[in-house]
Amino acid sequence: MKKRFFSCVVMVTLMVFLSVGSVFAADEAGKNFISNKVGVGYQGMVAGSFLNGISVRGWIGDRVGLEGSAFLGRADLQAGSTDIKGDLWQIEAKAMYALVVRNYSKFYAGGKIGYGQVDGSVPGDKFDNKGFWTPGVFVGAEWSFPQLPEVGFNFDVGYSGMIYDNNDLKINIDGVNATFGIHYYF
């Protein structure tokens, strides 16, 4: 109970900082730095475990964004009453809508869906390619520096659920999560 409460407090605090930062960003005449551009780069996810990934992110006009990511890492698993680690890969698609747009920043909200598989073993048993789905929602911000507008930094905080068919295996990547990344826009 305390852990879930602490996670909610952290998520609300981060959302406040993200929204305040984007509201006070400079509002100069001109269009947003990444409108109608596509960027590629690194995307990391903290969801109980830490996953590294690559990402393609694009903005259609100033307000609508799409992102596709592929993650790889080790995840905390629970098989019955045994805690173990497993190898995990996940692909994820995001749709974003920018609520606040400035020349060098955006504050956005969106939805996502991910699919992944996990491999691992417990004493006396091995499991391979156990698939799962992770639908979720998030809020985030993306910004760059005026001297380097083609490089975008992003940070998202959200909630992901978990859908899978194996009742004996618990994958600990659902709940409150955060992603952060850096993309070079072309």
For the chain, helix, strand, coil in percent to 5 are 10, 65, 20
- Tokens representing 107 are 């504050």
* Cα–Cα nearest to 47, from 7, 1, 91: 7
* Domain span holding position 99: 2-185
Identify whether the C-beta of residue 59 lies closer than 8 Å to the C-beta of residue 90.
no
In degrees, to the nearest 5, what angle opens at C-alpha 83 toward C-alphas 129 and 1? 110
Q: Which residue has the higher pLDDT, 24 or 94?
A: 94
Number of domains in the chain: 1
Rounded to an integer, what distance in angstroms lies between the CA atom of residue 66 and that of residue 160?
Answer: 18
The CATH number of the domain holding residue 163 is 2.40.160.20
* Cα–Cα nearest to 171, from 131, 111, 122, 124: 131
75-85: pLDDT as tens digits: 877 777 777 88
Q: Which residue has the higher pLDDT, 129 or 52?
A: 52
Banded pLDDT at 7 (limits 50, 70, 90)? low
pLDDT score recorded for residue 22: 43
**Average model confidence (pLDDT) across the chain:** 83
Task: Write the single-letter amino acid at 34.
Answer: I
The torsion region of residue 124 among left (phi > 0), alpha (psi -120 to 50) and beta comes to left
- Tokens representing 142 are 């993306």
